[in-house]
Structures are given as C-alpha cells and as structure tokens.
Amino acid sequence: MRIDLATIALFGALQALLLAPLLLAATRAYAGVARTSLRIWGTVLLLQVVGWALMGLRGHASDWLSIVLANGVLMVAYAETARALRLLLGAPQRLALLVAIGLAGWLGIAWFGVVAPDFRMRVYIASLALGAYLLLLAWPLRHALQRGGSTAQRVMLLVLLGTLAAWIARLVELATQPADAGLLSYSPANAAQMIYSAVEPVLASIGFLLMYNETVQAELRRLARTDPLTGTLNRLALDEESLRLFRAADRPNTLAALIIDVDHFKRINDNFGHVAGDRVLAALAAGIRWRLQPPAVLGRMGGEEFLVLLPDTGVAEAIALAERLRAAIAAMPSVPDAGIAGVTASIGIAAYRSGDASVDDLIQRADRALYDAKRAGRNRVVAAVGDASPVQADPMASPAPSSVPEGR
C-alpha cells in the first residue's frame, strides 16, 4: 500500500497547528530573550502550517499557490527557525544573510515552478537553500559534540541531521531516476522526506524547548550566584570559589586574598543617601572588575567590602595589584549620578600558608590587615603580618575628608 504524500503534508500542518498556540501562550510567563525566541518559534510553526497546507493542495490549486507561495512561506519559516535558535544561543543573528538565502531560493523555485517548469531544478535550489539554513542552525551547536557538551543541543543536532539525511536521500533518488514526477508523487525517498518533514516540527520543538530549559536553568544558577547590585559574585558563590581555590593551593604564595573596603562609607550613606551609596559600590565594582584578569575572582562579601582571590599569586604580585586598584579608586573623578566627588578605599592582603587549616584562616588574616590599613589612616594597602612589610599608599594621594566620623 502506497502512502498518500498529500495527506502526510496536511498531517504535518495539523501537528504544527496544535503546537503553535501552546508555545505562543507559554511566552506570557517569560521575558526578554526567552519570550522573543519562543514567540519566533511559535510563529515558525504557524508558517509551517500555511506552507505545508498549501503544498498539500498540489494538483487541487494553482502552481502559484501550491509551489510559489508554499515555498515562499516555508523559506520564511526556515529563516525564522535559524533566527530563533541563534537568538537563544546568543549567536549573531545574520539577518541579511538569512534574507538573502531565502529570497534567492524562493526566486529560483518560483522561476522553475511557473515560468520554466523544471521539478529537478526546484529540488536542487530548495536543497541548496535548506543546506545553507541547516549550516546556520548547526554551526552554533558544534560545541555540543565536545565532551560534556549540552544534551539538549545534541538532540537538536540529531533533528537537523535527520532533516539533512532525508533531503540527501531525495537528491540521490532524483539523480539516479529519470522520472520527473513531482514532490507528492510516491517514491521511497519522497515518502521518507515527507514523513520526516511531517514529524520534524514536533521533534525540533522538543529540542528547542530542551535547549530553552537548559538556558533558563543556567541563567537561574547565574542569578543565584550574582550580587544584584554590583554584578559580582555574591557571598554564596564567593564561599564556593574560595573553597575551590584553597583546595587547589598546594604551597605558600599560590593563592592571595585582597579585601577592599570603601573608606567612610557610612558617611556617604548618611550625607548622600543609600541610593548614592549603591551607585558608589556599583561604580567601584565595575572599576575593580575591569582591572582584573582571569582567573582572578571578585565578589562582594557584604556591605562595602569586596574580596579578590588571586590564584597562583604571591605576596609581591598581590601588593602591586592592590596598589594599582587603590590608586585607580582614589583617582575616580566622580561617581556618576551620585553627587560624590570621589572615594578612597583601604585594602588588606594575605597569602596562603602551608599551616592554614581552612580558607577562613587566609581571609581572616586579610581582614586583620584591612583593619591595620584603616587604623594607619585609610586609603592604603597593608599586607598581613608575616606575609610582607606593610605597604602604604602614595602620601600625595588625596586624604579622606577630616570631617568624616571614624569607622570603616
């Protein structure tokens, strides 16, 4: 019994029609890139409904509808598929390229569909356009093939490989058989290609939703580890990173810790308000982050204190970096929108010692060094006793205002 390929095409359209409203309705629960990518994907399914429905009318409607319009709609669907996937992955959109591929493919299909009818040429042109879209879809997923790669992205790659295999089988059959029967005429390759095309919207949507779930989970993990005010690691993430780096330190001077504290921060909050204080902290964090290089770790310990962890760094290197950070903070001309002319910071430094029982020992020494810097007049760098001699800031640096009350 031969399969009615027109029925298969209409069945594919029906599946896409059932899926589209579900995805479009789901976008109400999300925002940003998530909502945009899901909306595009839902629109893709609606376009596939129209395209495959028109294609299923081959022989019952004019070629302008069943060939030209049908393929035009499907070209737009392929382009939007690539756009949704690349948006979700954070890859460049390549909108001009997507439009160029679709327009060139559609014009070729239209020419060999109604002007100079040639089924083989239509298939060849459609295959070239589809191949280009598959490349744009698969390229951002290539990293999934590496060890430890994304399972969801591998699922999507398998779906794309299935699409490619179905079209290759059709091209091979077309090249080896002289018959020019058309897309909906039965042949093994036509049947395989149409059946796969009918279920592909479901398979691709499953892959897309799996990828979306991975993306959302990764974003949630990132937010759970990020301080919302400064964008640095929060205390939870900082504790995890501190423990990881401490365990990796195997000899003295293989890990250094810097605690940076804004001088007279209470006065800033009292005189300018907590909003201004928040802007100071955000500007300070941005300035510190800009001057650090991986694998350095930066996090907010709480209040106006920041912790910098420097793997494979000795005391001398840590002091030099701390001096650069202190000078950069003191040289900040103003804090945008805060109405504050400038701020200074004190920095305490400690280095890993073989006798340290836990990372807390390292951080506590850095904290005591910070208190030494505060007692010595602020706006200076001090290393923990036993790590190095205290190093003070440039005496020409602008001192803190004398009217500021004592405190950290």
Among 120-124, 193-197, 200-204, name the most confident range: 120-124
Candidates 30, 112, 28; CA nearest to 68 is 112
Contact 145, 115 (CB under 8 A): no
pLDDT for 397 beyond 50: no
pLDDT for 376 beyond 70: yes
Tokens of 48: 């596939």
The architecture CATH gives domain 235-383: 2-Layer Sandwich (3.30)
pLDDT for 291 beyond 90: yes
Q: pTM of the prediction?
A: 0.65
pLDDT for 81 beyond 60: yes
> Considering the chain, what percentage of its residues have pLDDT values greater than 90?
41
Domain ranges, ordered by start, for the chain: 5-224, 235-383
Mean pLDDT of 250-254: 85
* Residue 375: per-residue pLDDT: 95
pLDDT for 222 beyond 80: yes
* Residue 30: per-residue pLDDT: 64
Higher pLDDT, 35 or 187: 35
- The C-alpha atoms of residue 13 and residue 212 are separated, in whole angstroms, by 24
* Residue 209: per-residue pLDDT: 83
Contact 232, 226 (CB under 8 A): yes
- The C-alpha atoms of residue 320 and residue 329 are separated, in whole angstroms, by 14
pLDDT for 32 beyond 60: yes
pLDDT for 262 beyond 90: yes
Position of tokens 């004190």?
346
* Residue 298: per-residue pLDDT: 97
How many CB atoms lie under 10 A from the CB of residue 24? 16
Q: Spell out the residues 6+ positions from residue 163 whose beta carbon is closer than 8 angstroms to its own.
A: 130, 134, 196, 197, 200
**Sign of the alpha-carbon dihedral angle for 382, 384, 386, 388:** negative
The architecture CATH gives domain 5-224: Up-down Bundle (1.20)
